Chains A and B, each alone.
Chain A
Amino acid sequence: MADGAAPVLDVRGLKTVFRTRGGEVHAVNSVSFHLNPGELLGVVGESGSGKSVTMMSLIGLLPSPPAEVREGEVLLSGRDILKISADELRDLRGAKVGFVFQDPMTSLNPVFTVGNQIMEPLIRHMGMSKSQAERRAAELLALVGIPDAAKRLKAYPHQFSGGMRQRVMIAIALACDPDVLIADEPTTALDVTIQAQIIELVKELRRKLGMAIVWITHDLGVIAGIADRVMVMYAGQVVEQAPVAELFANPRHPYTRALLKTIPSLTGERESRLQVIEGQPPIMSGAPTACPFRARCAHAFDRCGTENPQRRALDRRPVGYGHDVACHWDAPAMVGGAHA
């Protein structure tokens, strides 16, 4: 987690657009972030904020019509992977970057055994023989906490529960020892106790294997439990970014503050109504010319309607390395933290 080391993933000014019959949808608007080795970056946002699209754009997982990565650089260990050929990119996927998807019930191929599916990337990327791959697959299953691993290799996905399937997905993502693991809402479809188990598993794996992780979620509780740094996204932009403790203690963006307020409190007074953020996130049909949050913002003023705020550092570190926020409003520090 040293900030001095070169980031394993460095995204600069990423812009992804969907060309549809009804016009263009600007899903990702100039997103920049970096990921240090061994670090866990949490990405938070509502549905439609562009979190998943950002991550899938990095490794070319979006269907190419209609998606188009228009601008930006994505440096994986220093190499711009937006500029390499599709074949080279395919060699990186699964090998250097592992992906875990949201719905474990449908993410595994139902007609192949679990062992077969884990062995696939091992044989393709690591050039292993079938028996070597089988041994490694059994190791991986044991690593993710599936009992009786060698026998379970021959089982089919439908013979596993949701939590076990997600563990298998993690095993597949980690098979070739990637530098980066991107987890797109991996526990959203699981119940809370299983969610806790998977989180503990990932934490332990990070300790053991040391890979960097991007964890996308809309659950701030999960972020609090697992992330080193957090990036809050809205309408395809990063609106705030900070180390996790700082974000919860001292949120500056109205959206972040509103999000934190929506978490029902277990202590304190029982409220008659849940806190919500009124309105819906916008669908960006063009590059943003104004702040996309202004319609739902309690603190919006004139400048918000004419100029899309750029990220500005709140401490002496550069944007992306400390605490920065994309907002025109100069938020006063919160007394006693965001969560009373």
Chain B
Amino acid sequence: MLTFTLRRLLVAIPTLLFISLVIFLLVDLAPGSPLSDIPLTVPPDVRQRMIEALGADQPVFVRYVLWLRQFFWVEPAYLLDGWFGTNLANGEQRILSWQARSPVFTIIGERIPQTLIVIGTAYLVGVLIALPIGIYSAYRQYSAFDQFGTLFAMIGFSVPTFFSGTLFIIIFAVWLGWFPTKYDTQLEVTDWASFVEQLRQMALPVMTLGLANAAVISRYMRSSMLDNMTQDYVRTARAKGMTERTVVLKHVLRNSMIPVVTVIALGIPSIFGGAIITENLFGVNGIGAALIGAIHASDLPMVQTLAFIFAVLIVTFNLIADILYGLLDPRIRYD
């Protein structure tokens, strides 16, 4: 297992390098130099430093390496400085967002908690609802519960989040007035009342995204359970006189969870993707909204950085999913 992990990590490095190359080249090879598009709002001396830092007059290879250096050396140095109070970065030019004129990583650092709280909760809620629904639908296949579960799943993954989100806003916020229509990004949770308020404003985005997630995961859970319910070892478990509860929730579930856990792990990068549409719709100032804003404003450093971060997350969680699979299924030993 250890050699497998190390090997995969080693393979991940060229993968990420390749992705970074693609991201870099897409922008670099586009007509016009990226640095010619720097908005006029950036002061000239900063502009000059940026041009030097990114080697605008150097060959493409040098520019690429300088860009990588920016990403993998300068920024982490600033991060370490922030944590440990060192001075590794030594005043080097940081990747600046063209919109906000502050470093990209600072902005990302501010936005991530919002995303994690709202979208992360939505994912968690989705998973927690989906698992019991999937299990029971499989156990009572074709029953009324299963039919309803199927309907719910069909709706959940057919209806786009911008539609369901809007619908929920209209029904629950406008007509019924149970939840606020706007997400207050300034809200700080300091006491019980503000905590309740945070929950209230999270409710609708969580419901929207949770529905979509639950739909997909419940189908996976159901299908995995159905596959395993007809296996011979289930008959053996019954022949041993185990209760139905043990048979389903211990014997079948443990086998069924393996692919489902993998799917859930692979879906986690989507949390960071920020459920772009949902964040925009509800006004949650998370990473997804940041990405959309950056695209609209042609804020290249922001877009490039975010794209690369998503790539890193996806590669990482792919690896985690594989490792989890190996941990959960004793038949799989990669060594």
Binds B, one of A19-27, A109-117, A231-239, A290-298: A109-117
Residues of B within 8 A of A107 (CB): 232-233, 235-236
Q: Which residues of B contact A111 (CB under 8 A)?
A: 254-255, 258, 328-330
| Distance A47 CA – B258 CA, assembled complex (angstroms) | 35
The answer to whether A112 and B242 touch (CB under 8 A), given A103-B232, A106-B231, is no
Bound complex: CA A103 to CA B231 (Å): 11
8 Å CB contact of B239 from A93, A103, A158:
A93
Tell me, yes or no, whether A92 is within 8 Å of chain B by CB: yes
Q: Which residue of B lies closest to A104 (CB)?
A: B232
Q: Which residue of B lies closest to A175 (CB)?
A: B240
State in angstroms the CA–CA spacing of A107 and B236 once bound together. Answer: 6
Asked if B330 and A93 make an inter-chain contact with CB atoms under 8 angstroms apart, the answer reads no
Closest to A159 in B: B330
A99 to B258, CA, bound (A): 28
Q: Name the interface residues of A169-203: CB closer than 8 Å to any CB of B.
A: 169, 172-173
Task: Enumerate A86-109 residues with CB–CB distance to B below 8 Å.
Answer: 90-95, 98-99, 101, 103, 106-109
Say whether A124 faces chain B, with CB atoms less than 8 Å apart: yes
Interface pair B233/A121, CB less than 8 Å apart: no
Interface 0/1 of B159-195, CB less than 8 Å to A: 0000000000000000000000000000000000000
Residue B124, interface by CB 8 Å: no
Q: B47: CB under 8 A from chain A?
A: no
Q: With an 8 A cutoff between CB atoms, is B243 at the interface? A: yes
- Chain A interfacial residues counted at CB < 8 A: 28
Residue from the set B231, B233, B240 with the largest chain A CB neighbour count within 10 Å: B240
Using CB atoms, name the residue of chain B closest to A96: B241
Do residues B239 and A61 form an inter-chain contact, with CB atoms below 8 A? yes
Contact B242 A124 (CB under 8 A): yes
Interface of B is mostly: helix
Report how far A92 CA is from B251 CA in the complex, Å: 20
List of A residues within 8 angstroms of B328 by Cβ: 111
**Please, which residues of chain A bring their CB within 8 A of the CB of B235?**
61, 101, 107
Residue of B241, B243, B254 touching A112 (CB-CB under 8 A): B254
Nearest-neighbor residue (CB-CB) of B244 within chain A: A90
Query: Would B239 and A101 count as touching, CB distance under 8 A?
Result: yes
Question: Complex formed: what's the CA distance from A125 to B242 in Å?
Answer: 9
Q: Is the CB of B254 within 8 A of A121?
A: no
Nearest CB in chain B: distance from A57 CB, A: 13
Name which of B238, B243, B251, B329 has the most chain A CB atoms within 10 A of its CB. Answer: B238
CB distance from A263 to the nearest CB of B (A): 29
Q: Is A46 an interface residue (CB 8 A)?
A: no
Residues on the B chain within 8 Å of A99, using CB: 236, 239
B296 surroundings in chain A (CB, below 8 A): none
Nearest chain A CB to B53 CB, angstrom units: 53
Chain B residues with Cβ below 8 Å from A98 are: 239
Residues of chain A lying within 8 A (CB to CB) of residue B243: 90
* A95-B241 contact given A110-B331, A112-B254, CB 8 Å threshold: yes
Interface contact B331-A158, CB-CB below 8 Å = yes
From A61, A93, A111, A121, name the one whose CB has the most chain B CB atoms within 10 angstroms. A111
Decide yes or no whether B237 CB sits under 8 A from chain A: yes
In the assembly, what is the distance between CA of A115 and CA of B214, in Å? Answer: 36
Q: Mark A152-174, 1 if CB is under 8 A from B, else 0.
A: 00001010000000000100110
Find out whether the CB atom of A93 lies under 8 angstroms from the CB atom of B231: no
The residue on B at minimum CB distance from A99 is B239
Q: Are B241 and A90 in contact (CB under 8 A)?
A: yes
As a 0/1 sequence over residues 104 to 145 of chain A, the CB contacts with chain B under 8 angstroms (1 = contact) are: 001111111000000011001100000000000000000000
Inside 8 A of B237's CB, which chain A residues have their CB?
109, 120
- Which of B232, B258, B329, B331 is packed against the most chain A CB atoms within 10 Å? B232
Least Cβ distance of B236 to chain A in Å?
5
Report whether A106 and B233 are in contact in the complex, using a CB–CB cutoff of 8 Å: yes
B240 touches A110 (CB 8 A): no
Contacts of A110 in B (CB 8 A): 233, 255, 329-331
A108 touches B236 (CB 8 A): yes
Complex interface bits, B246-270 against A, C-beta within 8 A gives 1, otherwise 0: 0000010011001000000000000
B238 to chain A: closest residue by CB: A61
Q: Nearest chain A CB to B160's CB is how many angstroms away? A: 38
Docked Cα-Cα span, A268 to B194, in Å, equals 95
Distance (Å) between the CB of A79 and the closest chain B CB? 16
Q: Contact at B330–A156, with CB atoms within 8 Å?
A: yes
Given that A106-B231, A111-B330 are known contacts, is A93 also in contact with B238, CB under 8 Å in the complex?
Answer: yes
5 contacts between A and B (CB under 8 A): A61-B238, A101-B235, A101-B236, A172-B240, A173-B239
Q: Which residues of A contact B (CB under 8 A)?
A: 59, 61, 90-95, 98-99, 101, 103, 106-112, 120-121, 124-125, 156, 158, 169, 172-173
13 further contact pairs, Cβ within 8 A, besides A99-B236, A109-B255: A61-B238, A61-B239, A90-B241, A101-B236, A106-B231, A107-B233, A107-B235, A109-B233, A109-B236, A110-B233, A156-B330, A156-B331, A172-B236
Contacts from B to A (Cβ < 8 Å): 231-233, 235-243, 251, 254-255, 258, 328-331
A-B complex: 7 closest residue pairs judged by Cβ atoms? A94-B241, A93-B241, A94-B240, A99-B239, A106-B232, A109-B233, A156-B330
